[in-house]
């Protein structure tokens, strides 16, 4: 019925408005036609409401994502959290929210104390979507009743902010989607107290590129050397300068970052600092870099808010340990969009290194940093020299970062007295 109406409107529009003709009628007629066009637009929107489908969804209390909920307790506040995957979200909300970059997070907060507490939604996502905003984005195609049902459901399922003494409240918060691992905070305020809960949850339906990587079996035990603090500097200085092609013969870009910490610490530090995982599928489509005779163990990325700039970090587990901690060698590179669509490699690789160091530092993920000079230096002059024209330039410094399991503020970061920090063009 509705589609007939729309078809009719289209025919009327074509016949009577005729905006396609180049020569165009006199301005007063055009004005009338524009008014008519507006009227038709209004008519169309009225018609769009005449049909459309009903809003259909499944109950929240179904087995699946709720069973994966993790629970944490601090003093008198208990928080459970879980993230439904793409299909589970479709079933609960009847809409493909993941397809729009929206990811619901389910929370349950129990207040066993004697004062009212407040949950701060911005602690989970600073730019969260409001429930009715999500409903409004998805109103297209539903009947008037369907839209109203949808608004009601999003409103009812929203996580409330205030939880009275003795009460348990639950609901959803609509966040920006993270595939793979989802790290977020849940801050709950009491009377001049703050309870901070940090969750790191796996989202079903995403296979990261490191899914099959196993730090325990990659090197035979007798090939891994352990260094004390004094030996470490020399050992790190002697690590390979650059990644290579598959044959191992041709050097490529510099290994300019080294990270010290266990695998789970590394993952936490990366996620806390705003880096995102790469899916196995996406990683397979990229040109691999080689080190220690194998392609990188993992790739992480950071895309700028404007989307015109990407920092990419690749890791290899090294056959070395600093005391009990693993050593990871990394390569950080920067790409930017040129002319709107062409991805260009930024030859200033030191900028990428310094950016990554700050990203970890502001993510409060560092215990200590140290600079090491002396790896393959490529002066800026040889990049600009038309005859030599190297693909990149670098001061040859590498940054060594000790990762922290818990947040560390800048005041408490230890700066190693190794080499003095580098300077541009020197």
Partner 1 sequence: MNVLLSHARLSLRLAALLLPFCLAGCAAGFDPKPMASVPFRDRAVTQADSGVRVTTAVPDAKESRELFGVSLYKKGIQPVWIEIENSTGADVLFLPFGVDSDYYSPLEVAALNRKRSARQQAEQLFFLNGVDLAIRPGETRSGFVFTNLDQGTKAFNVDIFNDDDTWQFTFFVSVPGLATDHGNVDFKTLYPDDRITHYTDAAEFIEALQQLPCCVKDSKGENNGDPLNLVIIGEPLDIYYAVIRAAWDETEVVSAASGMKTAMAFITGGKYRYSPVSSLYVFGRRQDIALQRIRENINERNHFRLWLAPMTFQGQSVWIGQISRDIGVRFTRKTITTHKIDPDVDETREFLIENLAYNQVLSQFAYVGGVGAAPIDSPRGNLTGDPYFTDGLRAVIWIPSKPKDLQDVRYIEWSDPED
CB 40, min distance to partner 1, A? 12
Collapsed DSSP state (helix, strand, coil) of residue 77: strand
Nearest by Cα to 84 from 170, 202, 207 = 202
168 binds partner 1 (CB under 8 A): no
Per rule CB under 8 A, is residue 16 in the interface with partner 1?
no
Question: Could you tell me if 400 and 416 are in contact, meaning their C-beta atoms sit under 8 angstroms apart?
Answer: yes
8-state DSSP, 160: P
Angle at 270 between CA 217 and CA 291, to 5 degrees: 45
Among 355, 367, 390, 418, indicate the residue that binds partner 1 (CB under 8 A): 355
**CB nearer partner 1, residue 158 or residue 215:** 158
DSSP bridge pairs for 128: none
Q: Of 15 and 343, which has the nearer Cβ to partner 1?
A: 343
DSSP 3-state assignment of 144? helix
Binding mask 315-334 for partner 1 (x = CB under 8 A): -------------------x
Nearest Cα neighbor of 235 from 267, 260, 269, 264 is 260
- Give the residue ranges of DSSP H helices in 180-338: 229-237, 263-272, 280-284
Q: Which is nearer to partner 1, 377 or 413 (CB)?
A: 413
- Residue 418 interacting with partner 1 (CB under 8 A): no
If the CB atoms of residues 109 and 260 are measured against partner 1, the closer one turns out to be: 109
Find the binding residues for partner 1 in span 84-143 (CB under 8 A).
Answer: 118, 120-123, 126-127, 130-133, 136-137
Sketch the per residue contact string, 248 through 287, with partner 1: x for CB under 8 A, - otherwise.
----------------------------------------
Cβ burial, residue 360 (10 Å; 0-12/13-18/19+)? buried
Least distance CB 136 / partner 1 (angstroms): 5
**Which one of residues 1, 216, 221, 410 is an interface residue with partner 1 (CB under 8 A)?**
410
Tell me the three state secondary structure of residue 310. strand
Q: Can you say whether residue 374 is alpha, beta or left, with left for phi > 0 and alpha for psi between -120 and 50 degrees? A: left
CB of 41 or CB of 211, closer to partner 1: 41
Q: Which residue, among 290, 293, 292, 336, has the nearest Cα to 314 in the 3D structure?
A: 290
Interatomic CA distance for residues 71 and 89, integer angstroms? 21
The verdict on 367 binding partner 1 (CB under 8 A) reads no
Alpha-carbon distances of 91 from 52, 88, 97, 145, 190, rounded to whole Å = 19, 5, 10, 19, 35
* Residue of 99, 165, 264, 425 that binds partner 1 (CB under 8 A): 425
Beta carbon nearer to partner 1, 50 or 362: 362
CB of 59 to partner 1, least distance (A): 22
- Three-state DSSP class for 274? coil
Quick one: which of 62, 71, 73, 155 contacts partner 1 (CB under 8 A)?
Answer: 155
User: Which tokens sit at 44?
Assistant: 């169309």
Q: Should residue 46 be labelled a site residue for partner 1 when binding is judged by CB under 8 A?
A: no
Residue 423, interface with partner 1 (CB under 8 A)?
yes
**Cα angle for residues 117, 120, 124 (degrees, 5° grid):** 135
Only segment of 219-227, 231-239, 293-301, 342-350 that touches partner 1 (CB under 8 A): 342-350
Q: How many residues does the chain have?
A: 426
| Residue where the block lists tokens 């600009």 | 384
How many residues contact partner 1, by CB under 8 A? 62
The encoded tokens of residue 271 equal 């996620």
**Site membership for partner 1, residue 299 (CB under 8 A):** no
Residue from the set 160, 183, 204, 288 that interacts with partner 1 by CB under 8 A:
160
Residue that has been written with the tokens 């994502």 in this structure: 65
Shortest distance in whole angstroms from residue 390 CB to partner 1: 13
Q: Report residue 87 CA to chain centroid gap.
A: 20
Residue selected from 170, 193, 367, 382 as contacting partner 1 according to rule CB under 8 A: 193
Stretch that binds partner 1, among 199-207, 217-225, 239-247, 349-357 (CB under 8 A): 349-357
Q: Which residues bind partner 1 (CB under 8 A)?
A: 34, 37-38, 41-42, 118, 120-123, 126-127, 130-133, 136-137, 155, 160-162, 169, 187, 189, 191-194, 304-306, 309, 334, 336, 338, 344, 346-348, 351-352, 354-355, 358-359, 361-362, 380, 384, 410-411, 413-415, 417, 420-425
């Amino acid at each position: 019925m509705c589609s007939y109406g729309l078809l009719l409107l289209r025919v009327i529009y074509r016949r009577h408005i005729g905006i396609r003709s180049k020569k165009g009628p006199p301005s007063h007629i055009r004005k009338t036609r524009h008014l008519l066009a507006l009227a038709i637009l209004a008519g169309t929107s009225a018609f769009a409401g005449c049909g459309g489908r009903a809003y259909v969804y499944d109950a929240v209390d179904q087995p699946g994502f709720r069973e994966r909920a993790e629970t944490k307790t601090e003093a008198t506040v208990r928080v459970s959290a879980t993230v439904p995957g793409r299909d589970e979200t479709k079933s609960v909300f009847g809409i493909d929210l993941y397809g729009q970059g929206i990811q619901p997070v389910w929370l349950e907060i129990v207040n066993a104390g004697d004062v009212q507490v407040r949950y701060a939604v911005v602690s989970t996502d600073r730019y969260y979507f409001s429930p009715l905003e999500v409903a409004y984005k998805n109103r297209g195609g539903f009947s008037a009743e369907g839209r109203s049902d949808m608004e009601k459901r999003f409103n009812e399922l929203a996580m409330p902010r205030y939880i009275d003494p003795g009460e348990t409240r639950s609901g959803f918060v609509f966040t920006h989607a993270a595939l793979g691992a989802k790290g977020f905070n849940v801050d709950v305020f009491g009377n001049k107290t703050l309870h901070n809960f940090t969750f790191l949850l796996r989202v079903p339906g995403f296979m990261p590129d490191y899914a099959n990587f196993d730090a325990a079996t990659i090197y035979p035990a007798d090939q891994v050397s352990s260094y004390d603090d004094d030996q470490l500097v020399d050992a790190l200085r002697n690590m390979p300068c650059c990644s290579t092609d598959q044959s191992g013969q041709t050097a490529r870009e510099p290994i300019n970052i080294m990270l010290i910490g266990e695998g789970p610490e590394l993952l936490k530090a990366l996620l806390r600092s705003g880096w995102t995982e790469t899916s196995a599928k996406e990683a397979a489509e990229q040109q691999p870099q080689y080190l220690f005779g194998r392609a990188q163990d993992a790739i992480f990325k950071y895309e700028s808010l404007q989307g015109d700039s990407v920092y990419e970090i690749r890791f290899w587990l090294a056959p070395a340990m600093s005391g009990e901690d693993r050593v990871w060698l990394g390569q950080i590179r920067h790409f930017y969009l040129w002319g709107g669509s062409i991805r260009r490699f930024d030859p200033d690789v030191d900028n990428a290194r310094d950016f990554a160091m700050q990203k970890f530092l502001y993510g409060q993920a560092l215990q200590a940093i140290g600079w090491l000079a002396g790896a393959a230096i490529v002066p800026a002059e040889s990049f600009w020299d038309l005859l030599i024209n190297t693909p990149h330039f670098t001061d040859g410094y590498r940054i060594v970062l000790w990762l922290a399991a818990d947040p560390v503020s800048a005041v408490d970061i230890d700066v190693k007295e190794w080499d003095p920090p580098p300077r541009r063009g020197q």
